[in-house]
């Protein structure tokens, strides 16, 4: 009788664990994906608004005081500056709210997963069964094999990340290793190495290129919103560097790929102004304008 009761209870609990939580987890995952897309979209709008505001202010200042006095629409220009500033404040407020909502949803998902794990542990203890061993890299088909592929016969781009002892200690070495992975199509692996370099080599002379390559990994995957956000960090943190000029140009390409030609022109123009005026990026950007 106890054996029959145990079997029925186990079947019932396992069925619940596989059905309801799976459905709930899928719904939370969809909500997370939606929130992440909204955050990326708002970040892109903030970047675009900042560039428009900067260009408008530079245009006004370049007119010269005497010219500005003769402008009949100076009040309209000032009103546009105020409008753009207000739009930026609204977007930044929305971004803060979206980030908070995303954190709340991630916490909810983690709680649900922990709850499922606790229930599974209780079921295993009640039935006196041992859990299976965790899957290995070979089980998941991620173990590199001779010939450049993977153990499941898949693409060579799906590989395990390099072991910590295989990663160079200096910023230049990490950068070269990451570029090698990028050229081989392993953007996620390169991104992990570059993120480690950002954390470990603050202030290094390679940092501008490290941040640029980090954004480029997203660009190569055609994930335009994080790419634009990453290139903007190069512009904000390394103004005047050649990588800042190239970041303007690549942002223009990203906006062009997203079907936003007006935004693309604003970024292409940024690659031709100020310290970027005589850069290689400026030459390519002028051909786009």
pLDDT digits (tens, 9 = 90+) for 49-69: 777 777 776 766 666 555 555
pLDDT bucket at 89, cuts 50 / 70 / 90: confident
Rounded CA-CA distance 190/162 in Å is: 10
Question: How does 28-47 read in b/e, with b if 16+ C-beta sit within 10 Å?
Answer: beeebeebbebbbebbbbbb
Where is average pLDDT lowest: 92-106, 165-179, 222-236, 247-261?
Answer: 92-106
Note the pLDDT of residue 107: 79
Residue 114 pLDDT > 70, yes or no? yes
Q: Are 213 and 178 in contact (CB under 8 A)?
A: yes
Is the separation of the CB atoms in 228 and 256 below 8 Å? no
What is the predicted pLDDT for the residue at 116? Answer: 78
Q: Which two tokens stand for residue 7?
A: 């079997």
* Residue tagged 């396992």 (tokens): 14
pLDDT band at 167 (very low <50, low <70, confident <90, very high): confident
Residue 231 has pLDDT above 60, yes or no: yes
> Which pLDDT does position 56 carry in this prediction?
72
CA distance 174 to 160: 17
The pLDDT score that the predictor gives to residue 220 is: 96
Does residue 289 contact residue 273 with C-beta atoms inside 8 Å?
Answer: no
The yes-or-no verdict on residue 201 having pLDDT over 60 is yes
225: left (phi over 0), alpha (psi -120 to 50) or beta: alpha
Structure confidence at residue 168 (pLDDT): 87
Q: What are the distances in angstroms from CA 142 to CA 95, 157, 188?
A: 36, 10, 14
- What's the mean pLDDT in 255-264? 89
With a cut of 60, say whether residue 278 has pLDDT above it: yes
Kindly state the average pLDDT of the residues 9-24.
Answer: 45
**pLDDT surpasses 90 at 209:** yes
In tens, the pLDDT along 116-147 reads 778 877 877 777 777 777 766 665 555 554 44
Please give the pLDDT value at position 191.
92
Higher-pLDDT residue of 99, 159: 99
Residue-level pLDDT at 91: 76
**pLDDT at residue 139 in the model:** 59
Per-residue pLDDT band for 85 (boundaries 50, 70, 90) equals: confident
Residue 152 has a pLDDT of 40
Q: At what angle do helices 224-237 and 2-62 cross, to 10 degrees?
A: 50
State the average pLDDT over residues 90-102.
Answer: 75
CA distance 209 to 206: 6
144 forms beta bridges with 150
Query: Does the structure show a pLDDT above 60 at 22?
Result: no
Length of the chain counted residue by residue: 289
pTM of the model: 0.51
Does domain 2-127 sit in CATH 1.10.20? Answer: no
Contact 102, 36 (CB under 8 A): yes
- Predicted local confidence at residue 262, as pLDDT: 85
CATH number at 164-286: 1.25.40.10
Give the model's pLDDT for residue 124.
73
Integer Rg of the chain from CA? 26
Closest CA to 42 of 85, 84, 83, 96: 96
Q: Which residue has the higher pLDDT, 101 or 273?
A: 273
Mean pLDDT of the chain: 75
In this prediction, residues 245-265 reach a mean pLDDT of 91
Say how many C-beta atoms besides its own lie within 10 A of residue 117's C-beta.
Answer: 10
Q: Rounded to an integer, what distance in angstroms lies between the CA atom of residue 160 and that of residue 149?
A: 11
Domain coordinates in residue numbering, the chain: 2-127, 164-286
> DSSP secondary-structure letter at 151?
T
């Amino acid at each position: 009788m106890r054996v029959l009761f145990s079997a029925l209870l186990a079947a019932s609990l396992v069925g619940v664990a596989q059905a309801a939580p799976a459905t709930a987890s899928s719904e939370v995952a969809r909500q997370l994906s939606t929130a992440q897309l909204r955050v990326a979209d708002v970040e892109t709008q903030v970047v675009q608004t900042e560039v428009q505001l900067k260009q408008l202010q530079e245009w006004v200042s370049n007119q010269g005081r005497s010219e500005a006095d003769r402008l009949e629409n100076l009040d309209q220009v000032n009103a546009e500056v105020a409008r753009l500033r207000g739009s930026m404040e609204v977007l930044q407020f929305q971004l803060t709210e979206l980030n908070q909502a995303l954190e709340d949803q991630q916490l909810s998902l983690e709680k649900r997963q922990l709850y499922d794990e606790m229930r599974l542990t209780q079921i295993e203890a009640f039935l006196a069964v041992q859990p299976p061993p965790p899957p290995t890299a070979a089980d998941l088909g991620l173990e590199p094999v001779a010939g450049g592929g993977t153990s499941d016969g898949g693409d060579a781009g799906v590989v395990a990340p390099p072991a910590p002892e295989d990663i160079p200690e200096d910023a230049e070495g990490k950068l070269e290793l990451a570029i090698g992975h990028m050229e081989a199509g392993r953007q996620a692996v390169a991104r992990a190495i570059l993120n480690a370099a950002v954390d470990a080599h603050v202030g290094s002379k390679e940092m501008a290129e490290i941040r640029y390559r980090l954004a480029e990994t997203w660009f190569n995957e055609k994930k335009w919103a994080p790419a634009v956000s990453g290139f903007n960090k190069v512009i904000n943190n390394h103004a005047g560097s050649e990588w800042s000029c190239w970041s303007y140009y690549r942002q223009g390409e990203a906006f062009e790929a997203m079907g936003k030609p007006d935004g693309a022109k604003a970024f292409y123009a940024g690659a031709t102004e100020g310290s970027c005026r005589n850069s290689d990026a400026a030459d390519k950007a002028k051909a786009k304008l």
